[in-house]
Structure 1
Amino acid sequence: MPGRKTMLLLVSGASGVGKTTARLHVRHLFERRGLDGTFETAELFTLGPVPDVPTVAWRQEQAEVAVRRAIALDAEGRHLLFAGDPVPLGEVLAAPSADRVEVAACLLDVDEQTHLARLAQRGEPEELVPFHRGFAEWMRAHATDPGHMPEVVTTDGWSQMRWERWVGREPGPEWAMTVLDTSRLSPEQVGAAIVDWCLRAVAGQAPVFRAGWFDR
């Protein structure tokens, strides 16, 4: 692998887009291809105790834990894949220590028909479906526009977050992430696409937020 700075690779998306299932295939592919020594994987529930009622502030504190873990991996020359949870890019970039690590993000997305079908298949309560759809739409807009309704994540957020790094910014080339449409892909295909994205990101062939990008 290229001798680049350790990176935090975020894979996110709304509920029902295939994050959890794909993550299992990613781990299998890492092991099969001998990449488990290059990439460590983490999720919210593996980073520390999970409260009975998780809050936005708790999720954002855990994003900081993930960032610090990525920084610690620098000594080992490894990267951290933070995947399987609906953690938006803006929360990772606003984590207090995120100015010390490079961040790449991949948003898993689906079309409306597929999303509704998947939510129904998993037995999601009907009254929660509009919430999941709305969050998917917000994350899709957030992928290209940091100024789109930042209050979705800043309201009731963790007091230590550094929102000034991106809140109020206009869309521009410095704000970029990879979007993967999983609507017509099998879990195995999504897993393979994520592994490919990880390799491209650490090689500098996919959008990356370099350490301290917001000061440039």
Structure 2
Amino acid sequence: MLLLVSGASGVGKTTARLHARHLFERRRLDARYETAELFTLGPVPAVPTIAWRQEQVEAAVRRAIALESEGKHLLFAGDPVPLGEALAAPSADRIDIAACLLDVDEEVHLDRLAERGEPAELVPLHQAFAAWLRAHAVDPGHLPEAVTGDAWQAMRWERWVGRSPGPEWAMTVLDTSHLAPQQVGAEVVRWCERAVRGEAPVFRAGWFARG
């Protein structure tokens, strides 16, 4: 299974991946889970583009498929990869995909962006993307052009673009506003275990043909 942790900048995706990896190792779950983010899947260009990101998402999907043959799962976290990009990756029809959106309230988000030294002119863009991700979590028809523009040509957007909200479109949302980094990691590990057991929303391989 591909376990995608999504979210806007500053919500704790990379921190969650690192703490989750530590917990996997401590609990001896690392034989069942591997972790990755974009920069671990290949060289990063000097100027990353949307198309490059989407090609790397396909690399993550293919890695998850390879791990599945070994009885393992891939936790893909650390980058602002929306659910729709994972579902539209060319090979995504061959693997089960679960997604967890990390979110924070607006005040906490602003504080975290300030702590990171984010340029003031970029803050509204981060806020807008966070709002889009919240809407995308429940409605595949909400401004799909936010991710389909300047896209890698191999992406299969027709799997979800144009769909209306419905029970087949679901993901887990985790509010990290008041959680310590270790707590976020622990919550992500719990979500991984629930998803693998089928106790959290999962897009089963080929789901779009049945929806």
TM-score range, shorter-chain basis?
A: over 0.9
User: 2:179 aligned with 1:185, yes or no?
Assistant: yes
Q: How does 1:11-160 map to 2 (within 5 A)?
A: 11-160=5-154
SS of the residue corresponding to residue 69 of structure 2 reads: helix
What RMSD in Å do the two structures reach over aligned CA positions?
0.5
User: Which of the numbers 148, 166, 171 marks the counterpart of 1:172?
Assistant: 166
Q: Which runs of 4+ in 1 moved over 4 A?
A: none
> For residue 172 of structure 2, what is the amino acid of its counterpart?
T
Instruction: Provide the rounded CA distance (Å) in 2 between the counterparts of 1:20 and 1:78.
Output: 21
SS of the residue corresponding to residue 150 of structure 2 reads: coil
Instruction: Provide the rounded CA distance (Å) in 2 between the counterparts of 1:172 and 1:93.
Output: 16
Listed one character per residue, the Cα deviations across residues 159-212 of structure 1 (whole Å, up to 9, x for unaligned) are 000000000000000000000000011101100000000000000000000000
SS of the residue corresponding to residue 77 of structure 1 reads: coil
SS of the residue corresponding to residue 183 of structure 1 reads: coil
Instruction: Provide the rounded CA distance (Å) in 1 between the counterparts of 2:127 and 2:116.
Output: 15
> For residue 163 of structure 2, what is the amino acid of its counterpart?
R
SS of the residue corresponding to residue 108 of structure 1 reads: strand
TM-score (norm 1): 0.96
User: Partner of 1:208 in structure 2?
Assistant: 202
Q: Percent identity?
A: 79
Listed one character per residue, the Cα deviations across residues 69-117 of structure 1 (whole Å, up to 9, x for unaligned) are 1111122100010011100000000000000000000000000000000
Measured after TM superposition, the shift of residue 21 of structure 1 is 1.6
> For residue 79 of structure 1, what is the amino acid of its counterpart?
H
Instruction: Provide the rounded CA distance (Å) in 2 between the counterparts of 1:25 and 1:73.
Output: 21
User: Partner of 1:194 in structure 2?
Assistant: 188
Measured after TM superposition, the shift of residue 12 of structure 1 is 1.1
User: Partner of 1:4 in structure 2?
Assistant: none
Instruction: Provide the rounded CA distance (Å) in 2 between the counterparts of 1:172 and 1:166.
Output: 11
SS of the residue corresponding to residue 40 of structure 1 reads: strand
Listed one character per residue, the Cα deviations across residues 11-63 of structure 1 (whole Å, up to 9, x for unaligned) are 01000101122221111100000011100111100111110000000000111
> For residue 111 of structure 1, what is the amino acid of its counterpart?
D
> For residue 132 of structure 1, what is the amino acid of its counterpart?
H
> For residue 78 of structure 2, what is the amino acid of its counterpart?
G
SS of the residue corresponding to residue 10 of structure 2 reads: coil
Measured after TM superposition, the shift of residue 122 of structure 1 is 1.0
Instruction: Provide the rounded CA distance (Å) in 2 between the counterparts of 1:18 and 1:82.
Output: 13
